[in-house]
Amino acid sequence: MRTPGVERERKDFADFYQRSRDNCLRAVLAGTGDRALAEDLVAEAFARAWASWQKVSRHPAPAAWVVRTALNLRVSWWRRRRREVALDGHDRALAEADLGTDDALLTAVRRLPKRQREVVVLRIWLDLDTNAVAEVLGISARTVAVHLSRATATLRAQIVLVAS
């Protein structure tokens, strides 16, 4: 027998998943550069979100929680596999083409320092406000603004060089 509260939670989570999955995948792909890995990380992060849905649903930015969890999982994955040899560029063209994201932009975002990349992904791609980004990353709103400013200046310069 199913209870109405559980059904409501399932529907809320299903709606959240449908709204957020693609943006979360794009954000994690920007950080990893590997579509298969990004899909695995996002799937695991959504599974963890469902397992903790009562807590995650009250988070100010649940999609950011999923992205942050996926990126943390990547760090754990990297630590376990750091001695393995990576194949440079393996499946990269397919991964980027599938999402319809400009190759030059993805490459430029990947070149940003980690914190700037995180701010760009959360603030621009996930469309979180500055305070939500600050809370997710554990930094001040002013620091978010500084990182975003530096990142956009760097991206502008890189994209202009590619375009010319």
Q: CB under 8 Å to 147, separation ≥6 — which residues?
A: 115, 116, 119
Q: Per-residue pLDDT tens for 53-70?
A: 999 999 989 999 999 899
Domain extent for 83 = 1-100
pLDDT of 89 > 80? The answer is no
The predicted pLDDT at position 71 comes to 86
pLDDT of 112 > 50? The answer is yes
Among 79, 100, 121, give the residue marking a domain's end.
100
Do 144 and 130 form a contact (C-beta atoms < 8 A)?
Answer: yes
Average pLDDT of the chain to the nearest whole number = 82
Say yes or no: 86 and 13 in one domain: yes
CA atoms within 13 A on the CB side of 93: 0
Say yes or no: 19 and 58 in one domain: yes
